[in-house]
Amino acid sequence: MDTHTNITEPRKYHPAAHALHRQMVAVRRTMSAATVEESQAAARWAQAWYQLVQRKLEDLQHAPRYLH
């Protein structure tokens, strides 16, 4: 009996999608924080991820478009 599990490569998400996901996680942490300090720290992370998302989206907007 083969008990080996398949280990797959993690998906390669676009940097903007990854940053948006991390922002969502930080917002959830902000809303579910047990203390004010924890909420403030999570809110700072959410803001930082938000800024990164915006920067990545701007990069996408200015990227050259190729016709196939």
Q: For residue 22, which amino acid is it?
A: R
- Using an 8 Å Cβ cutoff, are 37 and 4 in contact? no
Q: Which helix (H) or strand (E) holds 15?
A: helix 15-31
Whole-structure pTM value = 0.67
- Using an 8 Å Cβ cutoff, are 62 and 29 in contact? no
Q: What is the pLDDT of residues 47-62, one digit of tens each?
A: 999 999 899 889 888 8
**Average pLDDT of the chain, as a whole number:** 84
pLDDT > 70? residue 67:
no
The per-residue DSSP string of 22-59 comes to HHHHHHHHHHT-SSHHHHHHHHHHHHHHHHHHHHHHHH
pLDDT > 60? residue 43:
yes
Q: What is the pLDDT of residues 4-19, one digit of tens each?
A: 566 666 678 778 888 8
